[in-house]
Amino acid sequence: MANEHRHAPAGRARVVNRKRIARLMRDHGIIGRHLRKRCRTTVRDRNVPPAPDLIGRDFTAGGPDIRWAGDIAYLLAVRRQ
């Protein structure tokens, strides 16, 4: 049942094969949304050695202000006009 879709009002669900959905979409000129490729934000310099792992991948701390860690999340920024 992994390739079947169930979208109907409660109590009226029908089992529909994905190939039927693909054919109906093609017949009616409907195309699915394509996800964007992820943009590459960092290009590694192979001549520079990696930063040392000073805490040995152990992020547990015995109390406050013992270990600090950070992460950078890349978000799509849209310029509004």
pLDDT in tens, 23-46: 999 999 998 887 777 777 778 889
Confidence category of residue 47, pLDDT binned at 50, 70, 90: very high
Question: 24: Cβ–Cβ under 8 A, 6 or more apart, which residues?
Answer: 30
For the chain, give the percent of residues with pLDDT over 90: 21
Q: Whole-model pTM above 0.85?
A: no
**21-30, 59-68, 72-81: segment of lowest average pLDDT:** 72-81
18, 5 contact by CB (below 8 A): yes
